[in-house]
Structure 1
Amino acid sequence: MSDLALIMALPSESKGLFEQAGIEVHYSGIGKINAAFKAFEVIQKTGCKTLLNLGTAGSSYFNAHELVEVTQFVQRDMDVSPLGFQVGVTPMDDDHPAEIHLPQHFSHLPAGICGTGDSFETGTPKVACNLVDMEGYALAKVCKKLDVRLISVKYITDGANDTAHLDWEENLLLGAKKLLSLYQQSGF
């Protein structure tokens, strides 16, 4: 049993650097369903009190190569607006608000609002956010439901624009190095 478990979406986001440093990483796979399932599995298996999510994100607000701590998650692809609900709101989910707020752990990092969706964003999201990913909201919701603390830091790989797919792949190694350095310096 450990108080902390590390989760990332893909091995390409760690480039094997965490494993080389002897750090166990749980990989969720891409998207909200995979992330929710893996988060639940990791929390049940490890009994962790904190789930640390390190990964990549796109942003037209933050600079590329910047580390950003997510202090709020929203769903950028939940759209039941034809039934009168605001974009981002899950209908009939009174127990949990549409926005999931997290306390800031790394005071030296800028704080961001991450819009999560099951698409690789290359435009302007329908919800107010300043970075985008594909797993974070699901991790946050599982952690909220199971009373587990979530800390999430994203490396900005791209501008969430029409070259985002190229920039993302090109910047993965530098991102892995910066995320590993943050992890090692934080004393986890």
Structure 2
Amino acid sequence: MSDLKTLVVFAHSDEAAAFTDVQHLVSGVGKVNASVALAGALAAGGVEKVVVLGTAGVVGDGEPRPDLNTVYQVTHVLQHDFPLASPTLTLTGEVILPDHQATMATGDVFVSDDAQRAHIHELGAELVDMEGYAYASMCQRFDVPLQIFKVPSDYADSETTMDDWDAIVKHKSVQLREFFDKNLR
């Protein structure tokens, strides 16, 4: 993955903390930032594949429930905060983690509410973030394969705060780097 034709993307600079020696794009948090940054990179040309690495919240209760120490490959994304029906998008990148796949919901809010988390799980998602749907939509429009790999940072519940996320995200970056070196290099 050291070729320039693969674009490595993070939403937040802290998620990229362990990747200082890897060329990457930090899009910014949220669907608008993700869309604008990735569209600009794709419009410039030369990108043949996009790989997104980052953190996500776990939604739902019971088993099976994503583990906070496992990297998951997101294969489907949906929007949870858009009032009109929007399609669930299927990612077109190669599946390399057949035993650790997830559907992820995207919305422009940090989820830390039990009722909201339960609603998102009812939509069919195991994970939640703030950029995945935007990345998938842009890659679909530019006909570029996309892989998204997420390591859960929290349970997206009433016990979760932005301070909690800030405290653990750099540790999660190290986890993502170990995954990257083992599976994507």
1:15-34 to 2 correspondences below 5 Å: 15=17, 17-19=18-20, 22-34=21-33
1:47: which partner in 2? 46
Q: Supply the RMSD in Å over aligned alpha carbons.
A: 1.7
Q: 1:175 aligns with which of 167, 172, 175?
A: 172
The CA deviation string for residues 52-80 of structure 1, in whole angstroms up to 9 with x for no partner, is 10011000331212211100000011113
Using the alignment, how far apart are the partners of 1:105 and 1:57 within structure 2? 19
Using the TM superposition, give the Cα deviation of residue 46 of structure 1 relative to its aligned residue in structure 2, in angstroms.
4.8
The CA deviation string for residues 10-39 of structure 1, in whole angstroms up to 9 with x for no partner, is 111122x201xx201201111101101111
Gaps of 5+ in 2: 60-64
| TM-score, length basis structure 2 | 0.85
Are residues 1:112 and 2:123 paired?
no
Name whichever of 126-135 and 42-51 sits farther off. Answer: 42-51
Are residues 1:164 and 2:160 paired?
yes
Tell me, yes or no, if the aligned pair for 1:69 and 1:154 is still in contact at 8 Å.
Answer: yes
Tell me, yes or no, if the aligned pair for 2:71 and 2:179 is still in contact at 8 Å.
Answer: no
The CA deviation string for residues 92-148 of structure 1, in whole angstroms up to 9 with x for no partner, is xxxxxx011125522255100000000011232342211000000000001001100
Using the alignment, how far apart are the partners of 2:166 and 2:159 within structure 1? 10
Percent of counterpart pairs with the same letter? Answer: 25
Tell me, yes or no, if the aligned pair for 2:72 and 2:97 is still in contact at 8 Å.
Answer: no
Secondary structure of the residue aligned to 2:42 is: helix
1:152: which partner in 2? 148
1:77: which partner in 2? 81
Question: For this pair of structures, how many residues does the alignment match?
Answer: 170
1:100: which partner in 2? 89
1:124-163 to 2 correspondences below 5 Å: 124-126=118-120, 127-163=123-159
Q: 2:72 aligns with which of 68, 72, 81?
A: 68
Gaps of 5+ in 1: 81-88, 91-97
